[in-house]
Chain A
Amino acid sequence: MIRPIIFATALLSSASCTTAFAPAATAVTTQQQRTSSSPITSLTPLKMSDSPDTPTQLKIQSLVDDNPVLLFMKGSKLFPQCGFSNTACQILQSYNIDFETVDVLADEQIRQGVKDFSQWPTIPQLYVCGEFVGGSDIMIEMYQSGELGEMIEKAKADMV
């Protein structure tokens, strides 16, 4: 379950905003720690069906590293092809932020790969500053609580 060091270093060397959410990053970062935004790590991990160093996993890692606000979704911002992905897009658009999207319908390997990568079974999936935030239900919850807004503001500040 432990991801190789290369991922930890990739995280540390990417956009500076990663430090905002991972102040206690150590040399070796496990998948659980990486995808969790809180220090409590009492999760039962889902089984990974894909090795972390396949080309698809590396590609996803680089997408996540290169884009401060990244949404894996079905369809595009202009033409979301799923109600949940549409909700996710609308929430992000409400922050007036320049976010990137990846259409999983256009690439079957990414579609399955991102589920393995995040250990999360559904689409959409949001990453902010390299951290997995969650799917559309969690986005709605964090949008309503204001938590997502704070997270996006931090990402925005680092984008300039």
Chain B
Amino acid sequence: MGRVTFLDGRVGSVVLVGPRSNPKGAMAVLPGDSAGAVKTLPLPQVMDSLQPATLVEVLAVQERAFGNSGLQPLG
């Protein structure tokens, strides 16, 4: 989903790979502890660190890409 700025100022991204029923259907990719390293965390673990608008956007895009509620698919 492109760059995401977390509430603590870290910049990472959210990768969508499956529906929300899969806890790892959305993964946050964040800078790791050492230079150049990254760590990935399931979205529920970083949910509180997202801007509310970003969270809405992530959940909407995930539903449009992988959900079965009938929303218009992306692009």
Q: Do A and B bind each other?
A: no
